[in-house]
Amino acid sequence: MHDQKNLNATVIFHIIGFSDIIRKYGDTLTQQHSITTQQWWILLLLATDPNFIYLQQHRHKEPMLAMELADALNVSRANITNLLNVLIIKKLIIQVADKEDRRRKRLILTTIGEKLLTTLEKPRFESNQRLLKNFTKEEKENVVHFIKGSLAMLGRNN
């Protein structure tokens, strides 16, 4: 075992810890609506939330496909299928045939899904405000720059 503190390892563990806490905050917000944080992110992606790195880099003229959602969330196709099936059962999204290839299914928010996102937006905003209130705009921009640079180094720009 290493006895020496390593700044790179410390940074990585802090990012992992921060990510875990963010997911727990998300779970707290979504549990009362019987969805998971990942399912919420799918709804946000389908609503084309401009804050997702994936959507900033991949403009969509058509509703997204399951494989695009899997790529955006960095999960397996099997995992995304399970998540989508739950959202379909809950009537939060529907599948429609692609105009050019009817075997491909595009995913669209339902009115119920849109209402759920509207309901979650205020607590999302308030939670983000609380979490980041002590940081300046420049500090927040530096974090975004750091994350983007790290993702680029890993070959993941989304």
- Kindly report the number of other CB atoms within 10 A of residue 60's CB atom: 14
The number of angstroms, rounded, from the C-alpha of 54 to the middle of its chain's C-alpha atoms is 9
Range 7-153: architecture per CATH:
Orthogonal Bundle (1.10)
Quote the DSSP letter at residue 47.
T
Give the domain ranges of the chain. 7-153
pTM: 0.86
pLDDT (tens digit, 0 to 9) for every residue of the chain, 158 residues total? 556 688 989 999 999 999 998 888 899 999 999 999 999 999 999 999 999 888 888 887 889 999 999 999 999 999 999 999 999 999 999 999 988 888 899 999 999 999 999 999 999 999 999 989 999 999 999 999 998 888 888 876 54
- Alpha-carbon distance of 24 to 14, in angstroms, equals 15
